[in-house]
Structure 1
Amino acid sequence: MPVASSPPLHQLHAWQAATLLAHRELKAVDLVRACLDRIAERESDVQAFVHLAADAALARARELDAGAVRGLLHGLPFGVKDLFDTFDLPTAYGSPIYANQQPLADAAAVALCREAGAVLLGKTVTTELANMFPGATRNPHNPAHTPGGSSSGSAAAVADGMLPLALGTQTAGSLIRPAAFCGVVGYKPTHNRVPKAGVKSLSETLDTVGGFARSVRDVALLGAVLTGDARLADPAAFERATAPRIGWCKTPEWAQADADTQQAWAQAEKLLAEHGTPLVLPDGLTGLVAVQKAVQAFETARSLSHERLHHSRQLSAPLQSLIADGLAISGETHALNLQATARGRQQVRALFNDCDVIIAPSSIGEAPAGLDGTGDPLFCRSWTLLGLPCVHLPFARGRTGLPVGLQLVGAYGDDHRLLAAAHWVHQRLAG
Structure 2
Amino acid sequence: MNMQLRDDPARLTASEARRRIDGGALTATRLVAACLERIERREPDVLAWEHVDAKGALETAARLDAGPTTGLLHGIPFGVKDILDTFDQPSTYGSPIYRGHRPPWDAATVALARAQGGIALGKTVTTEFANRHAGKTRNPLDPAHTPGGSSSGSAAAVADFHVPLAIGTQTGGSVVRPAAYCGVYGYKPSFRLLSNTGVRTNTEQFDTVGLMARSVEDVALFKAAVGELPFVPVAPDEVSAPRIGICCTPHWDQTEPATRDALDAAVRALEAAGARVVNVSLPAFFDALDRAHKLICGFESLRNYADELTRWPDQVSEDFKRERVEVGTAASLAEFRDALRLGERARRWMDAMIAEQALDALLTPSAAGEAPEGLASTGQATFNYLWTHLHMPAVTLPHFTGPRGLPVGIQLVGPRYADDRHLSLVAWADRVLAAS
Q: d(CA) in 1 for partners of 2:187 and 2:353?
A: 21
Deviations 1:295-337 (A, max 9, x none): 1111111111111111111011111112111111011110111
Render the CA deviation track for 1:88-109: whole Å, top value 9, x for unaligned.
0011000001110011000111
Q: 3-state DSSP class of the match of 1:262?
A: helix
C-alpha distance in 2 between matches for 1:243 and 1:148? 34
Distance 2:120 2:147 in 1: 22
Work out the number of aligned pairs and report it: 428
SS of aligned partner of 1:210: strand
How big is the shift at 1:407? 0.6
Match of 1:84 in 2: 84
1:398-409 matched pairs, under 5 angstroms:
398-409=402-413
8 Å Cα contact 2:48/2:152 also seen in 1: yes
Aligned to 1:247: 245
CA distance in 1, matches of 2:243, 2:12: 31
How many angstroms does 1:211 deviate by? Answer: 1.0
Contact 1:242–1:421 (Cα < 8 Å) also in 2: no
Q: Distance in 2 between matches of 1:187 and 1:98?
A: 28
**C-alpha distance in 1 between matches for 2:64 and 2:185:** 27
Counterpart Cα distance in 2 of 1:19 and 1:297: 45
| Pairwise CA distance, 1:57 | 0.3
> So what's the TM-score if we normalise by structure 1?
0.96
Mapping of residues 15-414 of structure 1, within 5 Å: 15-231=15-231, 233-234=232-233, 237-273=235-271, 274-275=274-275, 276-322=277-323, 323-353=325-355, 354-414=358-418
Q: TM-score, normalised by structure 2?
A: 0.95
Q: Give the whole-Å Cα distance in 2 for the aligned partners of 1:223 and 1:244.
A: 23
**Distance in 2 between the 1:428 and 1:385 partners?**
29
CA contact (8 A) 2:170 2:188 kept: yes
CA distance in 1, matches of 2:225, 2:29: 22
Shift of residue 79 of structure 1?
A: 0.4
Distance 1:389 1:379 in 2: 14
Report how far residue 239 of structure 1 moved.
4.3
Q: CA deviation at 1:224?
A: 1.2
1:368 corresponds to which letter in structure 2?
Answer: P
Mapped to 1, the partners of 2:403 and 2:30 lie a distance apart of 38
- Please report how far the alpha carbon of residue 243 of structure 1 lies from its aligned counterpart in structure 2 after TM superposition: 4.1
Report deviation, 1:284.
Answer: 4.0
Rounded Cα–Cα distance in structure 1 between residues aligned with 2:5 and 2:189: 35
Once the two structures are superposed, what CA deviation does each residue of 1:388-408 show, in whole Å capped at 9, x if it has no partner? 111011111101000001111
Aligned residue for 2:384, secondary structure, equals helix
Q: Identity across aligned pairs (percent)?
A: 45
Rounded to whole Å, the distance in 2 between the matches of 1:179 and 1:168 is 10
Q: 1:56 to 1:243 in 2, by over 3 A?
A: farther
What amino acid maps onto 2:341 in structure 1? Q
Structure 2: distance between partners of 1:71 and 1:77: 13
Q: CA deviation at 1:351?
A: 2.6
Is 1:168–1:209's contact at 8 Å kept on the other side of the alignment? yes
CA displacement 1:20-64 (0-9 Å, x = unmatched) = 223333200010011001001100000000101001100100111
SS at match of 1:26: coil
Give the distance between the partners of 2:241 and 2:220, measured in 1 at CA.
18
